[in-house]
Amino acid sequence: MLLFGFNRLGRASSTIATPLLTSSSSSYRSTARRLIVGRPSHNVSRNVQQFNRHSLVAQRYKMSTVAAAQSFQNSTSKLAEQLIVDIKKELRSERAELEEIATYYFDGQGKAYRPMIVILIGRAYNRHLGQDIELSDSQKVVAMVAEMIHTSSLVHDDVIDSADTRRGKPSVNVLYGQRKSILAGDYILSRASQMLARLENEDILVVLSHILLDLVRGEFMQMSTKPGENQRFEHYINKSFKKTASLIAYTCKAVTLLSGANETQQEAAFEYGRNLGIAFQLVDDLLDFESSQSELGKPAAADLKLGLATAPVLYASSQFGELDAMIARRFSEPGDVEKAYAYVMKSDGLEKTRELAKKHVAEALNHISDLSDSDEKRALVTLAEMTITRRK
């Protein structure tokens, strides 16, 4: 499937409501309750319908657009690949083993999802604001830093989770040990910090400073749970923002700030990234039940084995009360993982999780609807849609 396989797509409807799932609003809590018990709000249903409409529009375009789309995809992918090459240069060290560990996950096997989003939204805003469409050096640094922070978090996550594999190969902690892996993750973050300091842009530093704070807070949130059904879901969404969506949202905001965007435009970019990031995490948690180990590059049902109750489990608990006790004890008793997995597969938890992910994708599209029509904007739409259909 081509990443950018169509030529023109209509704008999102302006009637879509503003984001429903904000961490501090009462509308967030009421919407979360409706979703948990299986009664999506009217706005959620309408947003999902819009997502489906976008997909249908995309499918109508003729094959004559494929060559142009392929050319655009190739040029954008090459830019993302070059950023990975540049990251490896930044991670060079006089200590060969440190460099080897730090670059282990920059092997071309990742999706480069985050830098691709930053590249596309930066170019889309550059065009929209009448700037040179090509990314400035500062914007490229933001894209590189996005991937470096993400990769350092993977290294640290694998240590925390005592992971065995990542992307179908031995995890960094298995090959090099926990101590060296932690230091390598810290080294990646340190180099990213140096790159940001070289920009000498205080506004960018302020925006991106939120990311590391959110990552740490999100990791701590993942280690705890809440007693009530509604509280658990709110806790889960907040954790998903901090661990996954925050990085995408704030780098989208930073790269548009460098485009010369005003505060309203920066906030639109932030909301695109926030909703897309939450959708990505929802699908990730869905695939933990639906995909095979060969597709994921890690064991299936890995989250349950780590004691984590993700969206499919939380939805399933509204149908099978037996899950509540398992969630509270983090699936620690013999047979808990297998029983919980079976309950999820018998429930409508997977379907509801996918519907919620579609809602967030539709919301993300709404926030870029005012951008000038461009290849980059169309690519952002397609990238959002592929978040729902991906298998790994």
Query: Where do we find the tokens 């999506």?
Result: 40
Domain that holds residue 313: 73-389
Cα separation values, 179 from 182, 185, 189, 193, Å: 5, 10, 16, 21
Alpha helices in the chain (DSSP H): 26-36, 42-60, 66-90, 96-102, 113-128, 137-161, 172-176, 178-199, 202-222, 229-240, 246-257, 263-290, 293-296, 302-305, 311-317, 322-328, 336-346, 349-366, 375-389
Q: Is 54 a member of any domain? A: no
What global pTM score does this model have? 0.82
76 and 2 Cβ atoms separated by less than 8 Å: no
Give the burial class of 193: count Cβ atoms within 10 A of its Cβ; 0-12 exposed, 13-18 middle, 19 or more buried: middle
Confidence of residue 3 (pLDDT cuts 50, 70, 90): very low
Q: Is 341 a member of any domain? A: yes
Q: Is 52 a member of any domain? A: no
Whole-angstrom distance, CA of residue 365 vs CA of residue 377: 10
Q: What is the DSSP string of 13-35?
A: PTTSPSPS--TT-HHHHHHHHHH
Q: What percent of the chain has pLDDT over 70?
A: 79
Residue 165, classed as helix, strand or coil, is strand
Q: In this predicted structure, what is the pLDDT of residue 31?
A: 38
Whole-angstrom distance, CA of residue 101 vs CA of residue 380: 32
Residue 139: closest CA among 163, 122, 124: 122
319 and 347 Cβ atoms separated by less than 8 Å: yes
Count how many domains the chain has: 1
Beta bridge partners of 380: none
The CATH number linked to 222 is: 1.10.600.10
Please, what sign has the CA dihedral across residues 18, 22, 26, 29?
A: positive
Q: Is 64 a member of any domain? A: no
pLDDT digits (tens, 9 = 90+) for 335-385: 999 999 999 999 999 999 999 999 999 999 999 999 999 999 999 999 999
CA atoms within 13 A on the CB side of 145: 29
- Mean pLDDT, to the nearest integer, of 105-113? 84
- Mean pLDDT, to the nearest integer, of 100-107? 96
Bigger pLDDT: 53 vs 375: 375
Average pLDDT over the chain, rounded to whole? 84
Tokens of 379: 């690519």
pLDDT digits (tens, 9 = 90+) for 116-144: 999 999 999 999 999 999 999 999 999 99
With a cut of 80, say whether residue 5 has pLDDT above it: no
pLDDT digits (tens, 9 = 90+) for 270-290: 999 999 999 999 999 999 999
Q: Is 33 a member of any domain? A: no
Beta bridge partners of 169: 166
Q: In this predicted structure, what is the pLDDT of residue 43?
A: 45
Q: Is 55 a member of any domain? A: no
* E strand or H helix at 169: strand 169-170
Residue 170, classed as helix, strand or coil, is strand
Q: Is 159 a member of any domain? A: yes
Whole-angstrom distance, CA of residue 15 vs CA of residue 37: 26
Whole-angstrom distance, CA of residue 93 vs CA of residue 123: 32
Cα separation values, 53 from 21, 185, 308, 354, 376, Å: 22, 42, 34, 16, 20
Q: Is 175 a member of any domain? A: yes
**Side chain identity at 85, as an amino acid letter?**
V
